[in-house]
Structure 1
Amino acid sequence: MLVGRTPVARYVLAPDLDAKHGPRPYLHPVRTLAGTPVTDALPDDHVWHLGASLAVQDVNGTNLWGGRTYVRDVGYTWRGDHGRIVHTGWEHRTPDRLDHRLHWCDPGGTVLLTERRTLTAAAVSGHPDAWRLTIDSTLTAPAGRDVVLGSPATNGRPGGAGYGGFFWRALAAEPPEVFAGARHGEEAVNGGDQPWVALRGRAPEGGAYTLVFSGLGPGDRWFVRTTMYPGVCVAFAFAQTATIPAGTSRHGRYQVVVADGTLAPDTAAAVATPAG
């Protein structure tokens, strides 16, 4: 993807991955306008973390996140429950806008959800060192079946591990700083519902960057990690399952401002205002 003539992201449409890694389309590498990388993919600590992607660990019992599945009263367990999210057709494709259709499938290939997804990359007015990624996603349940979205937390894991949704695995040489308004640090921000979250880090090559996330929908919460690994997620089922009733849709708009340098909190708040 391009902003003007500057390459800022690569969209991997159909990765050739083992099913246990949760094959799905993802963005990687994502870069600042100066070229600093701000995503990681297939890291040794969590191989199924794939740059920036949509992924949920429990979709009517199918693992569409990758890795081990958290089982109530048992813990993390390898199971044959991994599905995949697959591209089924383009609606629009230009360097700054990708619009396509997808299927969220169980291990046998049965379609659990259909999705229409649009990704756009655009400059941020008044901020020449920043650009904005917008992902619009509409998930639709089949006419005859409700679809329940869950997480390790809803399946019994303690400790605020309600991940699954729009997830960004960041790349940082050391634990980054995370803040959301007056809240600072992983423990204060994780599980919150602030309008935006900012992650300030430094890439292994040395470039400083700031990522500003927005886009919580009704019932969504922020899942953040900075110590075990750097990541931010718009979590669909942080503490309670989320249901898409049969024949209905769930729409989300997730925005990330990717900026060179270290943005002050007031600047982060200003650029977090959704565009459009």
Structure 2
Amino acid sequence: MSIRVTHEVGEAVVVTAAGGTEILRYVYRPDPEAFESRKPYAHPVRTLGGRTVTGYRPNDHRWHKGLQMTASHLSGQNFWGGNSYVHGRGYLPLPERVGSMRHDGFSGFAVGDGRLDLVEELTWVENGGGEWAREERGLSVHSVDEPAGAWVLDWSIRLSNVRDADLVFGSPTTAGREMAGYTGLQWRGARDFTGGTAFGSGAEGGAGELMGTQGTWLAFTAEHDDVDAHSTLVFAHAPGNLDERTAVHPSHWFVRAEPIPTVAFSWAFFEEFALPPGESFSYRYRIVVADGAWDRARVASYLDGLPW
């Protein structure tokens, strides 16, 4: 199935499916609010049927913006946005801790054969202006399949430490708050995903049982308001993410359906890890955006047909 790609220079990259539905808007224009951690994000993300599956600046967490790369605790800085967790004191508004991710340009941009492949160069900047890391980010839109009612977004990151000290990655859990290991690539669902159903590749149960577990994929399905329709998102790891020989650190799921719908590929849920000066790490992720309420068998079958 063909797609149309529009580059609104200085603003966003927009992908539209053949039927006219805008399925992805990747915004790289700097956000106005520094406290929300200025960084690129994908919103709105929609199914081929036109259902919006991402939330933007919800009233409970204004810094949640669709699908975005984050680092909630990084060497004392907050690249997640909003309040910072401090053990014994809770969440505090500490604007001096909030960093940003600067869009430096696209080093790759290819459209063809029903897919988009772009490579973005970014710099992670701590609150005082120091450049801490260089990121090479890959986004690919592909497998836009109207009969299946689904399309795929691949998101990769290669992050290099450019400071003269370790970059130490953690989460609120590593800082002392139980089962709050959020960090890494994060999805905030649209409001009608609240109370939705989450299930994984291996573990049974809903979001509460999946919190802090590991698995090759996790699915989240919900029924929409206003229209008689369901949508399903599938979050999948590339094989190397879960290979202890290649991954910089083990990954776990951060997932909630209540009080807010969110999923994060947490790379530092329970334990911190350090990236020495001059060193790099990489992760690759896949997000399937589908119409309908998919079950475990359908998710597994679909992913089996999408080799990495």
Q: Same fold (TM over 0.5)?
A: yes
Residues 238, 142 of structure 1: CA spacing in aligned structure 2 closer, same or farther, 3 A cutoff? same
Q: 1:163 aligns with which of 165, 182, 187?
A: 182
Distance 1:104 1:143 in 2: 11
Deviation, structure 1 residue 4: 5.2
Partner of 2:199: 179
Amino acid at match of 1:161: A
Deviation, structure 1 residue 38: 0.4
Whether 2:77 is the aligned partner of 1:46: answer: no
Partner of 1:13: 28
Whether 2:141 is the aligned partner of 1:121: answer: yes
Secondary structure of the structure 1 residue equivalent to 2:259: coil
Partner of 1:214: 236
Partner of 2:266: 235
Uncovered stretches (5+) of structure 1, i.e. residues with no partner? none
Query: Which runs of structure 2 are paired with 1:264-275 in the superposition (5 Å)?
Result: 264-273=295-304, 275=307
Distance 2:225 2:134 in 1: 38
Partner of 1:35: 50
Secondary structure of the structure 1 residue equivalent to 2:108: strand
Q: 1:147 aligns with which of 167, 171, 184?
A: 167
Distance 2:53 2:88 in 1: 36
Secondary structure of the structure 1 residue equivalent to 2:148: strand
Deviation, structure 1 residue 205: 3.5
Distance 2:70 2:104 in 1: 17
Partner of 2:15: 2
Amino acid at match of 1:75: G
Distance 1:89 1:230 in 2: 31
Identity %: 33
Partner of 1:55: 70
Secondary structure of the structure 2 residue equivalent to 1:67: coil
Amino acid at match of 1:84: S
Whether 2:251 is the aligned partner of 1:251: answer: no
Distance 1:194 1:63 in 2: 27
Partner of 2:5: none
Whether 2:90 is the aligned partner of 1:90: answer: no
Residues 77, 40 of structure 1: CA spacing in aligned structure 2 closer, same or farther, 3 A cutoff? same
Distance 2:153 2:79 in 1: 23
Residues 7, 17 of structure 1: CA spacing in aligned structure 2 closer, same or farther, 3 A cutoff? same
Greater RCO, 1 or 2 (C-alpha within 8 Å, sep 6+)? 1
Q: 1:193 aligns with which of 214, 228, 247?
A: 214
TM-score by length of 1: 0.94
Deviation, structure 1 residue 144: 2.9
Distance 2:52 2:30 in 1: 20
TM-score by length of 2: 0.84
- Aligned residue pairs, count: 275
Distance 1:29 1:36 in 2: 10
Secondary structure of the structure 1 residue equivalent to 2:209: helix
Amino acid at match of 2:218: V
Secondary structure of the structure 1 residue equivalent to 2:78: strand
Q: CA contact under 8 A between 1:100 and 1:117: conserved in structure 2? A: yes
Partner of 2:9: none
Distance 1:125 1:245 in 2: 42
Secondary structure of the structure 2 residue equivalent to 1:47: coil
Amino acid at match of 1:137: I
Secondary structure of the structure 1 residue equivalent to 2:149: strand
Structure 1 stretch displaced more, 216-225 or 26-35:
216-225
Secondary structure of the structure 2 residue equivalent to 1:101: strand
Q: CA contact under 8 A between 1:172 and 1:204: conserved in structure 2? A: no
Secondary structure of the structure 2 residue equivalent to 1:23: coil
CA RMSD of aligned residues (A): 1.8
Structure 1 stretch displaced more, 142-151 or 101-110:
142-151
Q: 1:137 aligns with which of 147, 157, 162?
A: 157
Whether 2:129 is the aligned partner of 1:109: answer: yes
Deviation, structure 1 residue 22: 1.1
Secondary structure of the structure 2 residue equivalent to 1:240: coil
Distance 2:44 2:145 in 1: 23
Deviation, structure 1 residue 123: 1.4
Distance 2:59 2:160 in 1: 33
Residues 23, 143 of structure 1: CA spacing in aligned structure 2 closer, same or farther, 3 A cutoff? closer
